[in-house]
Amino acid sequence: MKIEQLISQEEIQSRVKEIGAQISKDYAGEEICLICVLKGGIMFMVDLAKEITIPVTMDFMAVSSYGNEQVSSGIVKIVKDLDDPIEGKHVLIVEDIIDSGRTLHYLINMLKERNPASIEICTLLDKPEQRLVDVPVAYVGFVIPDQFVLGYGLDYEQRYRNLPYVGVVKPEKE
Ligand code: IMP
Ligand code: MG
C-alpha cells in the first residue's frame, strides 16, 4: 500500500503544543479529566497530556463504529466504558478524527447524562465534508479534506497506528 505524508511529525508536535497550552489556559485553576477514545485517540492523548500544565486525570473508553470498513456504519457500540465516574468533573474527550460526527454525538450525549461539571471535545483531525450530525468541538488540530487517513493512532484494518505522521492512502498504479 502506498502512503503519502499529509501532516508531518513536526507539524503534529507543534500543533499539539499549542492546543496543550490553550487547554492549560482555558481551564486554569481547574483539574481536567482527559477521556481517550480508544484506540485511535491514544497517540494524541499521551502527547497532549504532556503539554498540559494543570492537574490531569486520564480515563479510557472504547467504542466501535466502523468495523474494518472505510465507511461509517452508523452503529456505535461501547466496547469499554470508563473506569471512574465523571460526575462534577471537567471532562475533555480526546479523539483522533471526526468524520460523520456520529461517534462523538453519541458519546457526548451519553456522558452528559453522568453529570460532569463540563464536557468538551478535542480532536486531532476534522473532516467536515462528511458531517451528518452536528457536534460542538472545542479544540481541533487540523481540518483535512475528505480522504481516508492513517497513522498517529489512526488505523487501516488495525495497522499503521504507529506511524509518527498522518498519511493518506494513494491508489496503486496498475
Ligand atoms: P464518525 O462517527 O463518522 O465521526 O467517525 C469517527 C471514527 O471513524 C473515528 O474515531 C475513526 O476511528 C474513524 N475514522 C473516520 N475517518 C477515518 C479515517 O480517515 N481514517 C481512519 N479512521 C477514520
Ligand atoms: Mg476513533
The average confidence (pLDDT) of the chain is 93
83 is annotated as an active-site residue: no
Instruction: Count Cα neighbours of 141 within 13 Å in the Cβ-side half-sphere.
Output: 28
Q: Please report, for the chain, the start and end positions of each structural domain, with discontinuous segments joined by +.
A: 2-170
pLDDT at 70: 53
Q: Point out the catalytic residue in the list 47, 96, 99, 126.
A: 99
Structure confidence by residue, pLDDT tens digits, 49-105? 999 999 999 999 998 765 555 555 566 888 999 999 999 999 999 999 999 998 899
For ligand 1, which residues put their CB under 6 angstroms from it? Answer: 40, 65-66, 72, 95-103, 148-150, 154
Mutate to test the pocket of ligand 1, among 63, 110, 154, 157 (most ligand atoms within 8 A of CB): 154
Q: What per-residue string of b and e applies to 134-159 under the rule 16 or more CB within 10 Å gives b?
A: ebebbbbbbebeeeebbbbbbbbeee
Q: Which fold has domain 2-170?
A: Rossmann fold (3.40.50)
- Other CB atoms within a 10 A radius of the CB of residue 168 amount to 17
Structure confidence by residue, pLDDT tens digits, 108-144? 999 999 999 999 999 999 999 989 999 999 999 999 9
Please state the pTM of the whole predicted model. Answer: 0.93
- What's the 154 CA to ligand 2 centre distance in angstroms? 7
Cell output for 54: 494543570
If residue 72 lies in a helix (H) or strand (E), which one and from where to where?
A: none
Residue with cell string 487547554: 23
